[in-house]
Amino acid sequence: MKRTKICDIFNPALVGSQVCVKGWVRTRRGNKHVQFVALNDGSTIKNIQIVFDLEKFNEEELKAVTTGSSLCVEGLLVESMGKGQTCEIQAERFEIYGAADATTYPLQKKGHTLEFLRDIAHLRPRTNTFGAVLRVRSVLAYAIHKFFNEKGFFYLNTPLITASDAEGAGAMFQVTTLPLDKLPKTEDGAVDYSKDFFGKKASLTVSGQLEGELGATALGAIYTFGPTFRAENSNTPRHLSEFWMIEPEMAFYDITDNMDLAEEFIKYCVRFALDNARDDIEFLASMYDKELIDRLEFVINNKFVRLTYTEGIKILEESGHKFEFPVYWGADLSSEHERYLVEEHFKKPVILTDYPKEIKAFYMKQNDDDKTVRAMDVLFPKIGEIIGGSEREASYDKLLKRIEELGIPMKDMWWYLDTRKYGTVPHSGFGLGFERLVLFVTGMTNIRDVIPFPRTPGNAEF
């Protein structure tokens, strides 16, 4: 008999017909006359209740139907008398695919802490919370591709292994096949990377932006969506060593076009999740964050505040608020500063622009004041920075000068500089940290809980 997914079973038209469902047992309870099994197959947060009449099945046979075991059940779909469910299945036949030992299966009872569940990340997708988070994540990934495709952007795949450091921050994971116990050396004692796999030093990428710019200055508008890697030793609820980033890059866009796109994009994604993952978001709201849905609606319905870094610093300095990290013009903002602006001062998402050039990457368009660059960071409630981007420096001479000032090795940059040498155009782009978006939409508070298998300093299990 053909299987029906549990997400499709709560359909009044199916009541009265024979159905077949397959899934994992969440709970079994009951008495000598009747047993109830809650079955979940991952297609929805909802379980289907299976009713086993002990006149048709013997109790011994049902003892193997333990929490975590996998089943195939056939029977009649009927309207349910029970509270909180519209229908249930009166079992007629069942088969156990795989038992789950009741003494060792770790997900016996409800209410495990999120910390405990991180230690069993291989099984946590079977919990309500992680089922919901992972479905929301998938819906958001779909929204991202849909948004850019509807706008005529092309999906560009940029390399994960690279010989350049896109952000100039230097926190990269090296990729090598050299024998670490006997490294080849040059005459002056340095490691001889010419003997390495790529004939030069290579790393995992921190951003696809530079190659994205090559795409945008040919195809007009592109976006990337892929993993990026950062070897910073930041143990915070907002940093991962491996995270997914969406990086659109557009020719002929200035900073204002860039801000408009970023705002429209985030609002589209949040709206799409509310419309297409409602049950899961409602579940997460009820469990973790009663204000979640209001906050999502609020972001969709309000225009983001736009102001310069200099104005932002002034507000922070005049706030009288005691911050852990000092505030002064030139300081890199930390998440307490960003959240103060968003949550306390404006009570709206904020786009901060025109940062000091010293705290931003080399490729950003230089302003005439010689002090600031056309950067834009989108700051969100509960999250802080969710997007970082800029208009790009389009002038060959200015870009070259900045690269020299910062001592970035020119031999790695020749191909990037060529975009400014041949048919340069004004262009802009930004990067959205996918997990930060998922954090925001799910209301979770630790980034380790919105990616299936988090990589953080000291942790690469699973």
By CB under 5 A, which span of 23-31, 54-62, 387-395, 409-417 interacts with Mg ion?
A: 387-395
From the CB of 264, what's the least distance to ligand 4AD, in Å? 17
Closer CB to Mg ion, 47 or 228, in the complex: 228
From the CB of 227, what's the least distance to Mg ion, in Å? 17
**Cα 147 to Cα 151: distance, rounded to the nearest angstrom:** 6
Q: Is 454 in the site for Mg ion (CB under 5 A)?
A: no
Partner whose binding site includes residue 24, from ligand 4AD, Mg ion, none (CB under 5 to 8 Å by kind): none
From the CB of 448, what's the least distance to ligand 4AD, in Å? 11
Closer CB to ligand 4AD, 68 or 212, in the complex: 212
Partner whose binding site includes residue 263, from Mg ion, ligand 4AD, none (CB under 5 to 8 Å by kind): none
Closer CB to ligand 4AD, 94 or 309, in the complex: 309
Partner whose binding site includes residue 439, from Mg ion, ligand 4AD, none (CB under 5 to 8 Å by kind): none
From the CB of 442, what's the least distance to ligand 4AD, in Å? 15
Partner whose binding site includes residue 247, from ligand 4AD, Mg ion, none (CB under 5 to 8 Å by kind): ligand 4AD
From the CB of 345, what's the least distance to ligand 4AD, in Å? 20
Contacts with ligand 4AD by CB under 6 A lie at 166-167, 207, 209, 230, 239-240, 243, 245, 247, 385-390, 429-431, 433, 435-436
By CB under 5 A, which span of 64-72, 140-148, 175-183, 388-396 interacts with Mg ion?
A: 388-396
By CB under 5 A, which span of 123-131, 383-391, 394-402, 417-425 interacts with Mg ion?
A: 383-391
- Taking CB atoms, the residue at the shortest distance from Mg ion is 388
Closer CB to ligand 4AD, 30 or 426, in the complex: 426
Partner whose binding site includes residue 454, from ligand 4AD, Mg ion, none (CB under 5 to 8 Å by kind): none
**Cα 204 to Cα 271: distance, rounded to the nearest angstrom:** 33
Please, what is the angle between helix 292-301 and helix 278-288, to 10°?
120
Residues 222-251 that bind Mg ion (CB under 5 A): none
Closer CB to Mg ion, 25 or 438, in the complex: 438
From the CB of 362, what's the least distance to ligand 4AD, in Å? 11
Partner whose binding site includes residue 386, from Mg ion, ligand 4AD, none (CB under 5 to 8 Å by kind): ligand 4AD
User: Quick one: three-class SS letters along the chain?
Assistant: CCECCHHHCCCHHHCCCEEEEEEEEEEEEECCCEEEEEEECCCCCCCEEEEEECCCCCHHHHHCCCCCCEEEEEEEEEECCCCCCCEEEEEEEEEEEECCCCCCCCCCCCCCCHHHHHHCCCCHHHCHHHHHHHHHHHHHHHHHHHHHHHCCCEECCCCCEECCCCCCCCCCCEECCCCCCCCCECCCCCECHHHCCCCCCEEECCCCHHHHHHHHHHHCEEEEEEEEECCCCCCCCCCCCEEEEEEEEEECCCHHHHHHHHHHHHHHHHHHHHHHCHHHHHHHHHHHCCCHHHHHHHHHHCCCEEEEHHHHHHHHHHCCCCCCCCCCCCCCCCHHHHHHHHHHHHCCCEEEEEEEHHHCCCCECECCCCCEEEEEEEEECCCEEEEEEEEECCCHHHHHHHHHHCCCCHHHCHHHHHHHHCCCCCEEEEEEEHHHHHHHHHCCCCHHHCCCCCCECCECCC
Partner whose binding site includes residue 449, from ligand 4AD, Mg ion, none (CB under 5 to 8 Å by kind): none
Closer CB to ligand 4AD, 48 or 441, in the complex: 441
Q: What phi and psi, each to the nearest 5 degrees, are found at residue 19?
A: -130, 165
From the CB of 354, what's the least distance to ligand 4AD, in Å? 15
Q: Is 388 in the site for Mg ion (CB under 5 A)?
A: yes
**Cα 362 to Cα 401: distance, rounded to the nearest angstrom:** 10
Q: Is 389 in the site for Mg ion (CB under 5 A)?
A: no
From the CB of 385, what's the least distance to Mg ion, in Å? 6
**Hey, what are 145's tokens?**
């591709």
From the CB of 224, what's the least distance to ligand 4AD, in Å? 8
Residues that bind Mg ion (CB under 5 A): 388
